[in-house]
Amino acid sequence: MDIKALSTLKSLRLLYVEDDTATREELASMLAYWVDDLDVAADGQAGLALFAEKLHDIVVTDIQMPIMGGLIMSAEMRRLSPYQPIIVLSAYNDVEYLFRAIEIGISQYITKPVNVEKLLDKLTEIAENIQAKREQRRNQRLLEQYRHLVDASAIVSKYDPQGRITFVNDRFCELSGYDQQTLIGSEIRRIRHPDEPKDISGKIWQSVLDGNKWAGIVKNQTRSGTMYVVDSSLVPIIDEHNKVEEIVCLDVDITDVYLNYENMLESLSRSERSLNEQRHLLDEYKRVLELGASILVVEPGGRILGANLRLASMLGHEIKDLCERPLSEIVPDDYSKCFQRATQAIDGHCSEVIPFKHQNGSERTFSVTFMSVRDLHGQINSIILSCQDVTEPLRLTHEIVETQRELLLVLGEVVENRSRETGKHVKRVAEIAYLLAREIGLSKETAEILKTAAPMHDIGKVGIDDSILHKPGKLDFDEFEIMKTHAELGHHILTRIDRPLLSIAARIAHEHHENYDGSGYPQGLKGENISIEGRIIAVADVLDALGHERIYKAAWDDAAIRDFFITQRGRKFDPALVDLVLKHWDALSDIRNNFRDI
């Protein structure tokens, strides 16, 4: 038997109907091993009632039963669910029963005594077929949702092979100014701008009809006659005979980008530069415009040479107000390093998130691509800043992180309070962990995440009985075994929520009682198999706990704590972290003193 294939039975609902008690109990116990959702009935009437309530995926039934036979029950089930998979088990090789089963539509027929392997093979075959159909339905639903999503978010139109419009979505109508009734049935050239080459209805269209995709820039015109420009993709839809039955067009409005490009072209044509210089710089500007439509042009020394309307508006300025000003007047941070990186990069650009000053004094945050523009001699002519406003997403992200941080801290304090331990313990552990994380070489961002997650290290104690948590003396063996389960309980609690911050907290909860030499719990991890977060919290937790009174012990003095860490170096604790504790003892003592218990 294929064990992996048998695992498909786990996700299915199975109904087993059999009147013979011994047979029923024996086969049901075997089926229960492979099927999580199993119902058993002793006669056809009871089986039908269960089926009507639950609509099982597979039915396995005997034929000869009191009250209602298996074939009558199967016929009723097929009336409720016409394609219901049913396996008939019978000790009779009677042709009449077989023909009756075929009339009902039952093609699965196994004689008694039942060959278990044969039954499992048949169940697996049916289960895999059911799963395949479910996957097909799921894919169909996803496809429909994707289609709705595309219609809602993209500019969509559809055409027949002759170029007549068969569908336009709302966004297409908004952009073009036409309504659907006016466009449906019209030819594609109705929406084309007069300046657009006729190739779209000639060679390009024929290429699409031959089954090829096409993408390019197209000029269209609105109902009022104004031009708009789209980045257009034509995709042929092929039928089962390999012929194009329709063409779907997805457009992206790039009118602003195109006009910016045209304006730069006009500006260059009016300049005194040579034709080669104009062509070269035009290619450079075009390359930048592909990255974004909010741009700022700055000379290498930092003087603003120009800006487009979108960026100027985002900062509350007129274009003329920005030109000739130093970039430092609107960018408070040091941008020179970004200029240097852009000029030194092989591809000539780099990215950075930096703040900009708005005209009203507020601050906006932009994700900026700095791109160097070189002249024909390879010298830096200017730096172009392609900007995207990320102020609001960053604000929301910060608020979410702060909310999670406060929630974790409060939950940590709740756990400590329930344990009748110091309420400031979790805060001190978090601060100690941050210091050690930075000193061991973790980035500031990683250390901040660790600091935020640290209060959750003992969350599993919510599942420990009060009589154990509050016991004033030393725990006996059984009590300590129960107490040790808080590490796994905490991990289980925190892994139920799929968030990056909480996944770190889950790891800490699980590993903060692991010992460096492998003698810890719950997994007996050793050395660097314990995550760096788990090793840091193990040190921070014990360092703080030893120096404060608990219900089961008095506070230790600093000399005793130092001696303990020295003796446990490489045994209970990571040697490198112990060295850092001893090196930064004064700083760690300040943390412990700054968050004293009241």
Tell me the chain's radius of gyration from C-alpha atoms. Answer: 36
Angle between helices 425-440 and 575-583 (to 10 degrees): 100
Which of 122, 424, 461, 572 is the catalytic position?
A: 461
Q: In whole angstroms, what is the distance from residue 543 CA to residue 425 CA?
A: 10
End-to-end CA distance of the chain: 66
Rounded to whole angstroms, what are the CA distances from 52 to 14, 63, 133, 574?
13, 19, 22, 61
Rounded to whole angstroms, what are the CA distances from 218 to 50, 173, 186, 198, 205?
62, 17, 18, 11, 13
Q: In whole angstroms, what is the distance from residue 449 CA to residue 451 CA?
A: 5
Cβ proximity of 521 and 544 under 8 Å: no
How many angstroms from the chain centroid is the CA of residue 132?
26
Q: In whole angstroms, what is the distance from residue 428 CA to residue 537 CA?
A: 11
Kindly report the number of other CB atoms within 10 A of residue 188's CB atom: 18
CA dihedral 56, 59, 64, 66 (to 10 degrees): -10
Which residue shows structure tokens 């919290």?
537
Cβ proximity of 518 and 526 under 8 Å: yes
Within 8 A by CB and 6+ apart from 437, the residues are 446, 447, 450, 451, 532, 536
Q: In whole angstroms, what is the distance from residue 483 CA to residue 477 CA?
A: 10
461 catalytic? Reply is yes
Phi, psi (5° rounding) for residue 561?
-65, -45
Instruction: Identify the CA nearest to 533 among candidates 566, 503, 555.
Output: 503
Residues tagged active-site: 461
